[in-house]
A and B are shown apart, each in its own frame.
Chain A
Amino acid sequence: MLTRVAGGEIVDPVNGRLGTGDLWVEDETIVPPPTGRKPDLTLDAKGCVVMAGAIDIHSHIGGGNVNTARLLLPEHHKAHAPRPGATPLAQLGWTTFETGRLYAQMGFTTVVEPAMSPGAALHTHLELADIPIIDKATLAILGNDDFLLSMIRDNASAAMIEDYVSWTVASSRALGVKVINAGAAAAFKENVRSFSFDDEVPFYGTSSRKIVKTLQKAVTGLGVPHPLHVHCNNLGIPGAPDTAAETMAAAEGLPLHLAHLQFYSYGSEGKRGFSSAATRLAELVNTTPEITIDIGQVMFGQTVTISSDVLRQFTARGSANPRKSVIIDGDANGGGIVPFRYSNDFFGSLQWAIGLELFLLIEDPWRVFFTTDHPNGAPFTTYPEIFGLLMSRDARAKAMEAVSGRALKLTTLPALTREYTFEDIAVMTRAAPAKLLGLKDRGHLGPGALADVAVYRKGGDIAQMFRSAAFVLKNGELVVEDGAVKKMRWGRALRLKTTPDKAMVKRMEAYHQQRYGLSLDWFDFPDSAIQREQPFGEVSCRA
């Protein structure tokens, strides 16, 4: 099948292609313009922007904690049929099916679930397999698990730790590794109620810093393309910028990704002890090239916070709206589900403004990633509005009229005039995520790339443009037309190609028998358990 996307404004920064032209697709792949052949399908892209399919590196779309959030809040999604926009969470994309549909309609073709408990990997992959159209991937959580903490306490060799990380990634079918408030979940089980970067985990005697450094070294050593993905300590606490700065400094020249930096950018100045530290952290990011970050932008309205940072979520229970929550002490991290409504009061306005400050103050679009930490800062369905705010200072000025003036005075946002270009957007949401995740086959429109393509009809309303793609191709198939899904298909979960060390497998078998009284088979599963044709795609490690 030969497809021609005709006459669109191509925005492909990886290949330096910026300008009007045609894009050719044969079957699943982008191809050079063929000679003497007529296309089987021509898509008229005149007046449209043509980009690679977008990639979301951090969105909680599936797994035990996400499903518990659905279970906790049935009143917020009485149906997944279209509902009034004002209904809380109505556009959240609550079911697996809706998640795929809504992402595809916005031109997203790959989404990473960033917090998979390795012990519940099968559950996560079953959910992801039920998300249609898009490809998915997961990051396996380590850093509060007894096996790793015991190895660090007992001064295990770096090679042995690498073997354990490799086994975890392989058995859980993950694309990378995430550490969430390293050591804090283990400490919380010992009734510790606050935990910082250099605090020690009771029983193990190791610090959060040491856990992060150990995992960073292992991930780098194994050649995992995605740097260690770090959810720092002290999320949401005024004073957290110090923690974020300490963590950035601890990168020490090796790649490190800090998740949802907005939630760590709260200073403690002013009458309310709550201020913006975005300028300080943006400057740190600008001057620390080994650091990448994503934002975790807040938008106003009802949402639900879902996190494996069980200590932070336990502390946040009092702010639950509606007043119910779930806290889970898992085998390692566990998690917490706390519904929350962001309002445009002083605090909410400041959070909203801080996220935008970070977007606009961090200079390199290759190192700042577009996220709301769905659904923690806002549902992913708010992305089009955020694109509008980033690309238009007029849109920002209008939005600022509706938020707390006292909060804005504590930020630099009113003075920021930068406007993202389509090229910046293509870098931040396509090219850079592909590079960060090691996905060489996507994020660009060069010949040989996977034909994941998003075509947006240009118009005055940027948000509307990104909300309803004119066309979306996934693996070369036309799946969205005029903002509506035209064809259903099942995507794959991308996993890292890694072979676990046999000695480590034996060791894990003995550990599970001794500590849990169960064979290792209980913690693993065959690919056939997913019951989809080719549920996984493989990504190679760096040489």
Chain B
Amino acid sequence: MAVAWIGDRSVPVDDAARKAAELLAASLCPVFSLDTDVHGTRAALALARSAGAVCDQFDGAATAREAAQYTDRGGLFIAPGEVRRRADLVVIVGALPAHHDELIAEFASTVPDLTGKDAERRFFLVGDDAKTPGKAKAVRLACEGGLEAALGALRAQCAGRQVTHGVSHFDAFAEALAASRFPVFTFCGVFAGALALEMLQGLVGDLNRKQRASALHLPASPNGWGSTLVSTWTTGFPLRTGFARGHAEFDPWRFDEARMLAEGEADLHLVVAEDARQVPAAPKGVHMIALAKTAKPVAGAAVTIAIGVPGEDHDAVVYSSRLGTLAAMTAKASGELPPAAGILRRIGENLPERESLPC
């Protein structure tokens, strides 16, 4: 079975890794887009450091927004297990990606067990796009102007301020809030903009003056959040970190992979993806190195190397939104495809005058 290609030509993996290293060495501005597990990220960061590349999450705008919530203002957050066991009021803020449906349905099908006998869990939805969780009843809080406006109005109303357009069903919410021992607001950067996220944390902060409340981070991309954590301990910064000047620099605008490719800054794009169908076409003049689960070369890629899916084809460590931390996953089947980490290290071993890799 072919697992590596230079252009459309099937080659041994070592040849493909050598070619990828040549392209990286010749590149003036390489950019990496990641959708991988913890060890893939560790290896990608080490390679980026050696090659002077930029590392970003693949399609990483939402992940960057979520990271900005920490880097720019901080906030109050809660572990998912604690939500299941303690939250008697869950407020779903905006739409959530489908990969969180199972967790939300679990909240809807269980009741908190740490808040006394006969505890119930009630649900509210903020904005027009938030979905009702499973079969549970939920009351919608919305107003003209979208999610940001709804959160702004809700925060103002909770603080007893006058608003011109209040959210629907506020009185019911105020009553539920007063009765709640631990309300939790869910959020995700996919459909909530930076201002919405900031307003939400402002609301949670306000509530904590008199009662407890917190916010549950449901990441836009679990792999993206895992890579954010790894990048942070490895470089001191979340993703959108570059090594062009020999040390790590963080700049969420400058090192946005989509912008760098669209504006012609990058001349090489290394993509690590679970599925080859995710890999975008390379812009004109940009060499692409594609690492993805595939049985054929990725269209337009200068080098394609097939890799396994973390946790399916090989053991992995991934971010689990269910746990709110990193978790070890055992492969579902013993696949023959190698992990991204191994391939990235092989590329690094072929870089000329390679510096010693710190990780």
Contacts and interface: CB of A to CB of B under 8 A. Distances in A.
A146 B359 CA distance: 37
Contacts of B82: 189, 329-331
Contacts, number: 156
B71 A529 contact: no
Interface in B215-273: 228-230, 232-238, 246-250
B75 A96 contact: no
B81 A516 contact: yes
Contacts of A77: 236-237
Contacts of B77: 326-329
Q: Please report whether the interface of chain B is mostly helix, strand, loop or mixed according to DSSP.
A: mixed
A147 to B, nearest CB: 12
Contact of A329 (B115, B214, B228, B327): B214
B85 A515 contact: yes
A488 interface: yes
A279 interface: no
A74 interface: yes
A119 interface: yes
Given A81-B247, A189-B212, A70 B79 contact: no
B323 A531 contact: no
Interface of B: 38-39, 42, 67, 70-79, 81-82, 84-86, 106, 110, 113-116, 181-182, 208, 211-212, 214, 228-230, 232-238, 246-250, 315, 317, 320, 322-323, 325-328, 341, 356, 358-359
Nearest to B110: A517
Interface residues of A, number: 57
A95 B236 contact: yes
Contact of A72 (B74, B208, B356): B74
A327 B327 contact: no
Given A70-B236, A122-B317, A330 B86 contact: no
A67 B208 CA distance: 24
Given A78-B249, A330-B82, A516-B85, 12 more contacts: A62-B233, A71-B228, A72-B71, A74-B237, A77-B236, A95-B248, A97-B359, A334-B79, A488-B358, A523-B323, A524-B328, A529-B317
A404 B27 CA distance: 57
A249 interface: no
27 contacts: A71-B238, A74-B236, A77-B237, A79-B247, A80-B235, A94-B236, A96-B233, A122-B317, A122-B325, A126-B38, A130-B233, A189-B114, A191-B181, A203-B114, A314-B208, A324-B74, A325-B74, A327-B77, A328-B77, A329-B214, A331-B82, A337-B74, A488-B356, A517-B84, A522-B322, A525-B327, A529-B317
A373 interface: no
A523 to B, nearest CB: 8
A518 interface: yes
A132 interface: yes
A331 B234 contact: no
Contact of A531 (B39, B106, B214, B249): B39
Residue of A74, A97, A531 most packed against chain B (CB within 10 A): A74
A67 B230 CA distance: 9
Given A326-B77, A522-B320, A531-B39, A70 B325 contact: no
A316 to B, nearest CB: 13
A334 B214 CA distance: 12
A71 B247 contact: no
A119 B249 contact: no
Contacts of A64: 325
B79 A122 contact: no
Nearest to A524: B328
Contacts of B341: 531
B108 to A, nearest CB: 13
Contact of B358 (A97, A314, A325): A97
A98 to B, nearest CB: 8
A190 interface: yes
A203 B237 CA distance: 40
B69 to A, nearest CB: 10
A392 interface: no
Contacts of A189: 82, 86, 114, 182, 212
A328 B328 CA distance: 23
